Structure 1
């Protein structure tokens, strides 16, 4: 090999070797760059936390008891048979709530509305409840109900479209613009929207009355869904019955906010023993509806203050959109909680009567929502009220019940999965503070020929902080 060829070979080999080493180094560098974290620079966007100004608290009442057809010249007219006596109050230290009266269709001055404006940027809670008693030839009994915030959707469980019932759907609009309401009725044939329940216009500052029989004539166990657009409405149901020309009681049934899988109905008061004169084993009836799916509901009836069930637990099959009634017979005199566990959201209410003769009364008891924040509630005139507290959690809950004026305060520990009671005074505003836990609460009113129940609703939660990005 000549010197030139040897030199060329040597230089070429060197270049190849260097190229190979450079390629290998490049590969190692790329792999290392991919696998190892690169230095980064992150900057949080500028944001400002702001709490929205609280809105005024508004509750609307049901109003006085209405009679139908007392004017023979206007058989479909309404008249106030007994005015409603209302007790109201606000968060301690705040000014008294503003009061106005809605205009009731065909009955002049209607139910009261209470408004509590915020104090600066602090929300002011308001609570109110009313009662009325009547003893006329066509209407007799005692009714009590809590005043509630208006809702865009609510459910009415109770009443009947059969002969002897004179039930009325009450729609109140405390807002400043009209509301258009759709009434969907669930019965034996499922869900339907009858002509009388389509596009019902409720004027601003007014109450509209719709006879239930005009929606579901002959339906024994109706459930009504109330859907509003334009403005939320406060819906309730006045229900009464006449048996062979003898009035058998009256009640004002509060709306249910939404279906749930585990509704709890507390404070159901049984005042007559089974088999006693004027009583019946069918004096306690549970009405259930699963509006969106077939379901199975387990029913458990437990005396307040005890752990053992009063009746054998019962499973009930529910068909979508068809209400079911379940008799709860043989309950001794006392106060009970009806617990329901279903595999689909349901609405429910318990009907209870003092008897089936002249001078008797009945009540519909609706579910009590979870109260997890300090909340106000009011008791009405009438029989002495009793507060029932139920704890569905697995830990004890320490609660404080106090009157708004500070004259009454009691600390109650509700055991895990248990319940307890407290006696209260009529016509008083109270605060229920569940501490770190949550309870369900209901007020029962029982007297001679008088029966009523009011579930305690939680106060509206304060608006959370929102982040504003400039």
Structure 2
């Protein structure tokens, strides 16, 4: 909103007229120039449609000589109508069938024991009204589940209406929270999926709905044995994915989903072990509306132990993940669904870095072909200058030392690793800094003993925690929440949401600078939960969810998604 200058009133206008006339007498040529300029402005504004309304507020002040040309006026902010909340969930892990190259691969089921499911959570408005929300397959078709039907006109709440074909028990009936709190939730638990899906929720009370969802895949046997869990994403036109590998026995499949009504044209920039990679097939990939497209990265960049992808789309926004799997001879080496990392910056923070006992970790990595079955930090420098990187590691007891002080160099346009071997067992936060912008992710590994299959996961650099973020806890895997911060002090407030949709009393986790705090969700809430509503205060603090199993090799790490509720504003910039 632009404030009107005081000169716009009647008395000010009368006073302003005299200097304008006097100036005109002294400089007649200036008058003519001023008229031509004002005429040109009127002509431009007449052709600008809606821009005339925004520009009219400042027009009176912009031609009066009392206002200095150096004065700055904040651009007006236009409130946009609240839109749908849309999150794209990746599909289950699938085996490549036949050719391992190209952008239209064929797939087959992973194993007879594999299962893939989506867990979702939708919050009501402050007045207790649940938004109409559905989970549907992508490509489109009959909804997999209806979390909440359209609210009745004038009603304060709405019930849950499972769609045909879904079990009524999978959608929890919502219930109100503590006294005086009208918010409630509806939870969709373990909805089986066989393809990518999309969760949509309509706005309520002129606010975007707060939603959260995760897709979890698990298999006890087969080439894709392991655990892969990924958060459902808000579509974007710019994404960074790090942690892929295309060496022998490693398969990386980039999956791109377009849930919008506009076609997307996708270009990929690839960064490998020795620098940027040129691949003609990485440009101009068309993803039609409501479709998925798979790209086998080995067909574009073979033989890369570390591969990062910068995805840019024009047209419709997209969601993207990398299905990364390892097969060591006949032994499954794990599977993960790699989610986007933070955009390049001079500092990145990663938490949820789970490290096993150093003796066990060393014995696993010492096996033939298991060199990458070890915890490590991967850094990607997309610029044209080498980066000197320093890494600080913080655990529950404070900072832990690294060889050479955690300092190493990464070539321009390349991907490089720093081993995290030797750290005591625990969950850590990495504070990574450089003089050059970079993005980063950390690999974590789970194994029980040598000779058995291992699993791996990736924890990507994320943004600091804010207000009103949702953490969805998938059913099945063992979950732990990790909060870490390099310096200062913060409080993380967590409102538990039960599987029945009930909001419990707020719990607070205090996080000291230079430490990592790990919390069991069920112990924190006092009972099993479907998720949390999170708000953080104090200094910058970061969070993640570490998932695993008590009796088998399984690990995956989820970041905390940004909040999506609230009104939307658009800055209006007047100019040409």
Please indicate the TM-score interval, normalised by the length of the shorter structure: 0.7 to 0.9
- Are 1:284 and 1:328, in contact at CA under 8 Å, matched by a contact in 2? yes
Quote the residue 2:233 is aligned against. 148
Matched, 1:54 2:82: yes
Quote the residue 2:432 is aligned against. 340
Quote the residue 1:139 is aligned against. 224
The alignment yields a C-alpha RMSD, in angstroms, of 3.0
Matched, 1:401 2:494: yes
Matched, 1:374 2:468: yes
Quote the residue 1:362 is aligned against. 456
Quote the residue 1:445 is aligned against. 547
- Are 2:394 and 2:486, in contact at CA under 8 Å, matched by a contact in 1? no
Which of the numbers 246, 252, 255 marks the counterpart of 1:170?
Answer: 255
Q: Would the alpha carbon gap of residues 449 and 53 (structure 1) be closer, same or farther in structure 2, given more than 3 Å must change? A: same
Q: Distance in 2 between matches of 1:110 and 1:189?
A: 35
Q: Would the alpha carbon gap of residues 68 and 96 (structure 1) be closer, same or farther in structure 2, given more than 3 Å must change? A: same
SS in 1 for 2:300: helix
Quote the residue 1:296 is aligned against. 388
Which of the numbers 509, 516, 522 marks the counterpart of 1:419?
Answer: 516
Q: Give structure 1 stretches of 5+ with no counterpart.
A: 1-39
Q: Distance in 1 between matches of 2:429 and 2:335?
A: 22
1:15-46 CA deviation, whole Å, 9 max, x = no partner?
Answer: xxxxxxxxxxxxxxxxxxxxxxxxx988x99x
Give the TM-score taking structure 1 as reference length. 0.82
Quote the residue 2:108 is aligned against. 79
Quote the residue 1:249 is aligned against. 334
* CA apart distance, 1:418: 3.2
SS in 1 for 2:95: strand
Give the TM-score taking structure 2 as reference length. 0.68
Q: Would the alpha carbon gap of residues 306 and 206 (structure 1) be closer, same or farther in structure 2, given more than 3 Å must change? A: same
Matched, 1:97 2:133: yes
Instruction: Return the structure number with greater helix share.
Output: 2
Matched, 1:117 2:202: yes
1:127-166 CA deviation, whole Å, 9 max, x = no partner?
Answer: 1012111234322111111111111111111121111012
Which of the numbers 265, 285, 294 marks the counterpart of 1:200?
Answer: 285
* CA apart distance, 1:217: 1.0
Q: Distance in 2 between matches of 1:49 and 1:60?
A: 29
Q: Please say which of residues 141-150 and 367-376 is displaced more in the overlay.
A: 367-376
Q: Would the alpha carbon gap of residues 357 and 409 (structure 1) be closer, same or farther in structure 2, given more than 3 Å must change? A: farther
Q: Please say which of residues 329-338 and 356-365 is displaced more in the overlay.
A: 356-365
Q: Distance in 2 between matches of 1:50 and 1:167?
A: 43
Count of residue correspondences: 422
- Are 1:153 and 1:257, in contact at CA under 8 Å, matched by a contact in 2? no
Q: Please say which of residues 446-455 and 185-194 is displaced more in the overlay.
A: 185-194
Q: Distance in 1 between matches of 2:76 and 2:441?
A: 46
Q: Please say which of residues 459-468 and 308-317 is displaced more in the overlay.
A: 459-468
Largest Rg, 1 or 2: 1
SS in 2 for 1:196: helix
* CA apart distance, 1:50: 5.4
